[in-house]
Structure 1
């Protein structure tokens, strides 16, 4: 396994805030890596005659077919057959592909046959109760790998303390991962008509070293006979795959609106764009979000590559850092470009109305209404 030298990790922490990239990269294709959990000698959960590794693969292959119909989306699979893939290799595939998203597909199972419903997990440090038991189960796959002690530096899936330190590289993408997870769960409810058990966080090895927004999706409980039968059916797999596809497309569309040149139907590079006054709002404040981190930094220019007018707020365990503040959308576009020239190449515009964060796309739609 190729691992980062420790001195690079230390340097990355020391300069953490100045090297963050938060959006999708400026590539021609939007790259999605989809990962069918388990495989080969690792069957995952087995219950009621259903195997997690088989259902996960079937859904991944269907999801890939759905996404591949879009010309600007490139799909990469960690596996397309029943083969064993080490956890670290799955993240490595995504990193080498410079992926924009990493989605790992799994199925749930418990000894009690009653629980049912979907869950979508992002990286976190909540090490108590059922959250830890789920993470322990998923992480114990490492024991099937050769040289796992070397590859995971003595990581112990049975130790809550061992999970706290992982995920430094993923931390910056937590907010975006949560946004994707919300879209996935909402689609499971609204489109697939499934019960959602919500968005959850824990330290999961399969997404700990990915350098992009990443989620682990539990499609449902194969230990529940009714849900297991649904997930094992072609209809169920197609419905779940299409719900996932719609979540990815919605997520990508929002990113395109923030970092692309065409927003809400207006070509911002076109000389015939609407008058400037149509982009000024009395009750809306625009800012450029340049970073999100657990590090509480002083809003001084030396911490932000020379940028001034920095503000921050706390959202849970994360501090979000912003550049500029204006009610003029054209001005915030200029601020966005300035932030990018300072190294924040994937920063993006956010909007606030009456102190509450709102979708930029919804604000801009009001121009045409």
Structure 2
């Protein structure tokens, strides 16, 4: 099983290299959960497939006001799309992010609040149960046993062998999920059930930062009524669009025509999330109280000076190029001619970073250079006092 995981991760690493010509726009694939004969959850007259489609179309209309954003839809009508095809639509478009939108449901009608999932294995029984419910959709597809290579939707743990491939975009996925939850809290005063990990098949097959949003419980009379209303859908759509534009600003920069963010731009309200099973998002949380594990530098360049991020408290920016289960020498020949490559090891995964600068403007230049060299999914990361922090926190210095 480990051999399979490494092989898959190596394939994904290659995928992060040159692809089709880039349009220069920030590409967002929006996925409305369920469709046609797959109704999703149905409670009190509220039908999930209809609500998700309505919200996705609203999010898309908001984002499309920005000339620097291109929106791709997995469906724009009441139709059934295979889970793997939803991911493939995003992959073929070479999207920068994939956002799948759903409604939650529970036999306990008092359950309420939103939660956002990233792809990951979980020991949490409720997370696994949620994944089982959503993944069961594949049984409605023809030849699903062959198509999904024997995957059993009743046993999400059967995805465990591919855990390394999913980690390729985990940090970015968590950052996007965190922004979504915080915008729900700050704009809608919505109860947050946190950022969580679970093995969703629709996320597993998408090779980019990706999240699955559970907007709220249609099994809850009040929340279901709100989600099934024009006003409620518009509010949720605006919060999701604002979160996406906040993510774009942090990782891809801002275009002069970006308009989805409200004037306040939610300054100072985005938090950082660690890749844990469940990351709670409490109302009005205090600034970051825990820091991710300090990256272990495996192979510094022979002629490199001591890493600045390990000295003092000044922020240092780098560009993360890719992640892989395969360890590579940090030489230009292995990174499309880029030099000054550093390597950090997290578990069985190696993360490759380009450059090291205290200037965010220089980091943006390095990011543009990396993308021009064939790393379209590269993004800026930051370190402060020897520990990884969010770019937004680093910019507060």
Fold shared, TM-score > 0.5 on shorter chain: yes
Question: Distance between the aligned counterparts of 2:76 and 2:12, measured in 1?
Answer: 36
Change (3 A) 1:249 1:113: same
Question: Distance between the aligned counterparts of 2:70 and 2:366, measured in 1?
Answer: 30
User: 1:239-254 alignment to 2 at 5 Å?
Assistant: 239-254=235-250
CA contact (8 A) 1:120 1:216 kept: yes
Q: Residue in 1 aligned with 2:314?
A: 283
**Which segment is superposed worse, 141-150 or 304-313?**
304-313
Q: Residue in 2 aligned with 1:350?
A: 381
Specify the structure having the higher radius of gyration (Cα): 1
Q: Residue in 1 aligned with 2:181?
A: 185
Q: Residue in 2 aligned with 1:198?
A: 194
Structure 1, unaligned stretches of length 5 or more?
Answer: 1-7, 261-280
CA contact (8 A) 1:167 1:208 kept: no
Structure 2, unaligned stretches of length 5 or more?
Answer: 257-311
Q: Residue in 2 aligned with 1:273?
A: none
**Which segment is superposed worse, 354-363 or 238-247?**
354-363
Question: Distance between the aligned counterparts of 2:55 and 2:196, measured in 1?
Answer: 21
Residue 312 (str. 1) matches residue 344 (str. 2): yes
Q: Over residues 99-132 of structure 1, what are the superposed CA-to-partner deviations in whole Å (9 max), with x where a residue is unaligned? A: 1121111111111112111011110011441111
Residue aligned with 1:154, SS: coil
User: 1:66-215 alignment to 2 at 5 Å?
Assistant: 66-166=62-162, 169-215=165-211
Partner of residue 226 from structure 2, selected from 227, 230, 236: 230
Change (3 A) 1:242 1:101: same
Residue 288 of structure 1 deviates from its aligned partner by 2.9
Q: Over residues 13-59 of structure 1, what are the superposed CA-to-partner deviations in whole Å (9 max), with x where a residue is unaligned? A: 4466566469xx94322221111111111100111221111111111
Q: Residue in 2 aligned with 1:221?
A: 217
Residue 138 of structure 1 deviates from its aligned partner by 0.2
Residue aligned with 1:191, SS: helix
Change (3 A) 1:16 1:64: closer
Change (3 A) 1:15 1:50: closer
CA contact (8 A) 2:112 2:220 kept: yes
Change (3 A) 1:35 1:190: same
Residue aligned with 1:165, SS: helix
TM-score w.r.t. the length of structure 2 is 0.74
Question: Distance between the aligned counterparts of 1:117 and 1:282, measured in 2?
Answer: 38
TM-score w.r.t. the length of structure 1 is 0.79
Residue aligned with 2:34, SS: coil
Change (3 A) 1:328 1:75: closer
Residue 133 of structure 1 deviates from its aligned partner by 0.4
Change (3 A) 1:282 1:196: closer
Count of residues in correspondence between the two structures: 335
CA contact (8 A) 1:102 1:212 kept: yes
Q: Over residues 125-165 of structure 1, what are the superposed CA-to-partner deviations in whole Å (9 max), with x where a residue is unaligned? A: 11441111000000000111111112111110112431213
Residue 246 of structure 1 deviates from its aligned partner by 0.1
Change (3 A) 1:138 1:50: same
